[in-house]
């Protein structure tokens, strides 16, 4: 990794979570973005980390409770009369 700005690549790793979650103050955020612009390795780490989170979230987005499992849940709790039928 290159070291052309005040921040080192190690600084980027230390602040990576907060940067991705938008929890950093504007000054540090700008410095990190400047570093990322000039450091291809850090840019790849940031981009692939963001993409990893996005893919993991999307991989699960279609999971919902199967109808049979839902019926058994309502029955277990003696709430059959409130169970929406298919």
3-to-21, 47, 68, 85 alpha-carbon distances in Å: 24, 19, 57, 62
Question: What mask, x for binding other proteins by CB under 8 A, covers residues 9 to 48?
Answer: ----x--xxx--x-------------------x--xx-xx
Give the residue among 24, 43, 47 at the shortest CA–CA distance from 35: 43
- Give the distance between the most distant pair of CA atoms in the chain: 67
CB of 57 to other proteins, least distance (A): 6
The residues of the shown chain that bind other proteins, judged by CB under 8 A, are 13, 16-18, 21, 41, 44-45, 47-49, 51-53, 55-61, 63-66, 69-70, 72-74, 76-77, 79, 82-83
């Amino acid at each position: 990794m290159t070291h052309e700005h005040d921040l080192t690549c190690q600084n980027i790793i230390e602040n990576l979570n907060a940067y991705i979650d938008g929890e950093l103050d504007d000054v540090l955020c700008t410095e990190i973005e400047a570093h990322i612009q000039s450091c291809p390795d850090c840019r790849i780490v940031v981009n692939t980390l963001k993409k990893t989170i996005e893919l993991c979230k999307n991989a699960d987005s279609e999971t919902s409770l199967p109808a049979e499992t839902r019926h058994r849940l309502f029955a277990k709790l003696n709430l059959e009369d409130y169970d929406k039928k298919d």
